[in-house]
Amino acid sequence: MKTILVIILVLAIVAGAIWASTKYFGLFADADKDGIPDEVEDAVEDVKATAKEVKRRAKRVKEELGDIGGAVKDVAEQVGDVAQAVKGKPRKGRKPKSKK
């Protein structure tokens, strides 16, 4: 029981020393005086910006995959036309424009 109390006391002393060094001695830059070091705030902002960029890119990739899916469907429909053209059957697609 005494060892647990000693460990808690040591942790409390360490936490107090860290708090005092950041609050009163200014060992870490804190321009807005909110108790959070500026380096930590900058890191959090960078993570948020990176997350936004990842979401934007994921959305664009999803759009492109949708476009590819549509193109693959068109190709699949036209594969049968190629086989018929090899056999010599007439074209089923749009008639070519008449030249004047």
Question: Pick from 94, 92, 66: which is nearest to 79 by CA?
Answer: 92
Q: What residues contact 99, with CB distance under 8 A and at least 6 apart?
A: none
The pLDDT value recorded for residue 59 is 94
Say what the pTM is: 0.46
- The predicted model gives 5-18 an average pLDDT of 93
User: What would the two tokens of residue 56 be?
Assistant: 């934007």
The pLDDT value recorded for residue 53 is 92
DSSP state of 24: T
The pLDDT value recorded for residue 37 is 77
pLDDT tens track for 15-73: 988 878 777 776 777 777 777 778 888 898 899 999 999 999 999 999 999 899 888 88
* pLDDT higher than threshold 70 for residue 89: yes
